[in-house]
Amino acid sequence: MRFGAALLFLWAACAVAAPADAPRVFLLDAQILRDHKASPEMAAQARGAADQVMGRGPYSVMLKTRVPPSGDNHDYMSQAPYFWPDPSKPGGRPYLRKDGERNPEISQIPDHTNMDHMSTDARALALAWYFSGDEKYAARAALVLRTWYLDPATRMKPNLDFAQAIPGVNDGRGIGIIESRGLTSVVDAVGLLAGSKSWTEADQKGLEEWFAAFLQWLQASRNGRDEAKSENNHGTYYDLQVADFALFTHQDKLAGKILAESRAKRIAAQIEPDGRQPKETDRTRGISYSIMNLNGLMALATLGDRTAIDFWRYQTGDHRGIRQALDWVAPYVTGDKKWPYQQIDAVNRAELVPGLLRAAAHYNDPHYAALAKQLAGDSPDVETLLLRAALR
């Protein structure tokens, strides 16, 4: 099949319901997974990634030594990364902001790092189970998930009341909700585990109840309401979480509402007609945040594919859209243009690769696939391999 025809087929497939025998996933593509389930290459890559994390974890919010203000270690807790002691104040409080400069004190509270590891490990293990059928991967994934969410002795309570606290200022804030964006990987991991003897109906029910409670907290809490108002990447990833968790907990009407509103609200507020994202480029890590927010918008577009809400071709009257943002930032990511704003640390250029591959499909443009290959090289990432395979 010629490249253009293949891409048109892939885009059309994204907009319809996945086959009944495909996994119930949302940011991964169910049909591509099903079509390549018997691939030895995918099985080998997935096993390799899972083998690297088999000995890690399981993780728990109970591992921290500092107790949250609630007095309950089951509550998630973290410290704002870009805030530092004020040398002119006793005890350094209240802390002062240094954008983009991470205070090493944050490592004293491991909840954020552990939640990230839990999310990525669960998906890696679930992918290995899906492609290989080896139950040891499903069993490990189930242990990781039960420990974080379901075991009464180790579970996290479904809130982020104490996320990204600023010493001397507050005990937590809405901005901390950005730290749970990786939980979208958990939702897909659970979909991949269906059919495993290690993941039971009770496990599934318990996890859906946890995410339903967390979704309620996201919408009703002060922190959640504050984050919903954000006009930069925080607002993007808030919408992504609400829509994704709504789909997972069978609240399709809510997901559709959030996505329909987000398409206009986020793109219009965040992207200039030339494609620049000023709320990201004005930061001290401007290119990293531009990639991050664009990835969030493309993730929303992927959820839009599942609900027949087209983000990819949406434009405002003055031509603000995802494609404009991608075309603006891509030359800076590849190094073809010199970045004209601040970027105080190294850029992970490969972070844009999955988005470029999705753009190649949706815009029927092999240029994006070529850029993805340039940035990724021989990437061992299973998601990248799947997206590449779908374009062949």
**275 is in which domain, residue-wise?**
3-52+126-142+177-390
State how many domains the chain has. 1
Q: How far is CA 108 from the centre of its chain?
A: 24
User: Does the pTM of the predicted model rise above 0.85?
Assistant: yes
Q: Contact, 257 vs 316, CB < 8 A?
A: no
Report the C-alpha gap between 382 and 249 in whole angstroms.
26
Concatenated DSSP letters for 83-134? EE--TTSGGG-S-EE-TT---GGGGGSTHHHHHHHHHHHHHHHHHHHHHH--
pLDDT tier, 251 (very low <50, low <70, confident <90, very high otherwise): very high
Residue 350, phi then psi, degrees to nearest 5? -70, -15
Cα distance between residue 101 and residue 116, in whole Å: 20
Structural domain includes residue 148: no
Work out the angle between the directed axes of helices 183-192 and 201-220 (0-180°, nearest 10): 160
Structural domain contains residue 157: no
* 83 within domain boundaries: no
Q: 319-364 pLDDT, tens per residue?
A: 999 999 999 999 999 999 999 999 999 999 999 999 999 999 999 9
Residue 198 in domain = yes
In whole angstroms, give the CA distance from residue 6 to residue 12: 10
In-domain check, residue 8: yes
Going by pLDDT thresholds of 50, 70 and 90, the confidence category of residue 17 is low
Residue 389: band (very low, low, confident or very high) from pLDDT cuts 50, 70, 90? confident
**Domain-embedded: residue 252:** yes
Inside any domain, residue 367: yes
pLDDT tens digits, residue range 200-246?
999 999 999 999 999 999 999 999 999 999 999 999 999 999 999 99
Q: In a 3-state reduction of DSSP, which class is residue 262?
A: helix
Instruction: Report whether 293 contacts 280 (CB < 8 A).
Output: yes
- Residues sharing a CB contact under 8 Å with residue 350, sequence separation 6 or more, in sequence order: 375, 376, 379
- 382 is a domain residue: yes
For the domain that residue 220 is a member of, what is the CATH number?
1.50.10.100
